[in-house]
């Protein structure tokens, strides 16, 4: 199975940002023939602080994502936090993503599955790879045709994550597509004074280790200027470094 790639900014900041990143991804896709999904969130409902930027919201955000698809032809992925968002998002995107903290929320999983779109479930920071069989079962019994699982590390004390790469082959017992979230796995949750920190310098090593353990998909949040990003800047990789990393993982 050839690897696929999910990439884009953490949150929808502006139409200009989406177009800039999508242009780069479409160029990489054209040159490599790889399966590349454009990712951005219309609402970041789980920010550390109530004062943090969340995004444009459901209606405006989905229209902006639809514009990206119409112009660049890239398949889309976005995350949902409430079950009522599933139907509307499913009209626009190709993959509905379930955030890690919400991966046990039955109603959310069921409504995402009922759309008929691919459901990508992120493994919670407090669960093992084996535990993820149960969210997958919920989706399949609700009618999901295809379910992916994504590794993104486990809580390790306060404000820290550690990745147990054994979870990748373990989760392959429940689904054929296991993705490594290479950028959220280097987060330092809540460790930057009311917002999340991170160590983007470890992203390439996380990705290559996941490849060695059999990952067949990679999630890479990216931004032209992560230091100025409105969400998750410390763990996003620079847009101009993305292509080289994708090539190293695909070959």
3-state secondary structure 25-80: HHHHHHHHCCEEEEECECCCCCCCCCCCCCCCCHHHHHHHHHHHHHHHCCCEEEEC
Least confident of 2-6, 98-102, 165-169, 198-202: 198-202
74, 100, 191 from 49: Cα distances, Å: 32, 18, 12
Question: pLDDT grade, residue 80 (50/70/90)?
Answer: very high
When pLDDT is averaged across residues 215-235 and rounded to a whole number, the result is 93
The domain that holds 241 is classified in CATH as 3.20.20.70
User: pLDDT at position 190, please?
Assistant: 61
Q: Are 142 and 122 in contact (CB under 8 A)?
A: no
Tokens coding 46? 């789980």
Instruction: Show the tokens assigned to 36.
Output: 């590349």
Q: What percent of the chain has pLDDT over 70?
A: 96
How confident is the model over 113-124, as a mean pLDDT?
Answer: 98
CA distance 48 to 193: 9
Cα–Cα distance measured from residue 40 to residue 74, given in angstroms and rounded to the nearest whole number? 12
pLDDT of residue 162: 94
Mean pLDDT, rounded, of the chain: 94
Please state the domain count of the chain.
1
Q: What are the residues facing 150 on neighbouring strands?
A: 122, 179
- CB neighbourhood size of 50 (10 A): 7
149-207 pLDDT per residue, tens: 999 999 988 888 999 999 999 999 999 999 999 999 998 776 445 556 678 899 999 99
What's the average model confidence in pLDDT over 8-17?
96
Q: What's the confidence (pLDDT) of residue 1?
A: 82
Under 8 Å between Cβ of 96 and 111: no
* Residues 221, 242 contacting (CB under 8 angstroms): no
Higher pLDDT, 47 or 126: 126
Is residue 125 very low, low, confident or very high in pLDDT (cuts 50, 70, 90)? very high
* pLDDT > 90? residue 251: no
Read off the pLDDT of each residue in 79-99 and give the average, rounded to a whole number: 98
DSSP state of 223: E
Q: How many CB atoms lie within 10 A of CB 205?
A: 11
Contact in structure between 68 and 38 (CB atoms under 8 Å): yes
The model carries a pTM of 0.94
pLDDT at position 11 over 80: yes
User: Do residues 202 and 181 make contact, with C-beta atoms less than 8 angstroms apart?
Assistant: no
Q: How far is the CA of 200 from the CAs of 33, 46, 143, 178, 232, in angstroms?
A: 27, 21, 37, 22, 10
Expressed as residue numbers, the domain containing 112 is 4-250
**φ, ψ (nearest 5 deg) of residue 155:** -60, 135
Q: pLDDT: is 51 or 245 the higher one?
A: 245
Q: Kindly list the distances between the CA atom of residue 155 and the CA atoms of 124, 152, 158, 199, 228, in Å, as whole numbers in the listed order.
A: 9, 10, 7, 15, 27
Confidence at residue 196, expressed as pLDDT on a 0 to 100 scale:
63
Q: Taking residues 56-77, what's their average pLDDT?
A: 97
Sign of the C-alpha dihedral computed for residues 196, 102, 151 and 5 taken in this order: negative
């Amino acid at each position: 199975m050839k690897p696929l790639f999910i990439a884009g900014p953490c949150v929808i900041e502006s139409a200009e940002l989406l177009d800039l990143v999508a242009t780069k991804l479409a160029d990489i896709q054209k040159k490599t023939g790889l399966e590349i999904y454009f990712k951005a969130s219309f609402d970041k409902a789980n920010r550390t602080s109530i004062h943090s930027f969340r995004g444009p919201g459901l209606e405006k955000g989905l229209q902006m994502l639809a514009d990206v698809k119409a112009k660049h032809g890239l398949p889309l992925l976005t995350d949902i936090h409430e079950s009522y968002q599933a139907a509307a998002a499913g009209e626009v995107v190709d993959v509905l993503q379930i955030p890690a903290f919400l991966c046990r929320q039955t109603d959310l999983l069921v409504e995402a599955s009922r759309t008929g779109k691919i459901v990508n479930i992120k493994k919670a920071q407090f669960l093992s790879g084996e535990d993820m069989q149960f969210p997958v079962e919920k989706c399949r019994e609700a009618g999901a045709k295809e379910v992916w699982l994504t590794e993104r590390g486990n809580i390790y004390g306060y404000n820290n994550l550690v990745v147990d790469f054994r979870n990748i082959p373990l989760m392959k017992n429940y689904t054929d597509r296991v993705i490594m979230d290479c950028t959220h796995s280097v987060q330092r949750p809540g460790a930057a004074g009311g917002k999340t920190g991170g160590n983007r310098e470890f992203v390439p090593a996380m990705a290559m280790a996941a490849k060695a353990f059999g990952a067949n998909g990679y999630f890479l949040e990216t931004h032209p200027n992560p230091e100025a990003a409105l969400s998750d800047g410390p763990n996003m990789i620079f847009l101009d470094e993305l292509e080289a990393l994708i090539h190293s993982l695909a070959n």
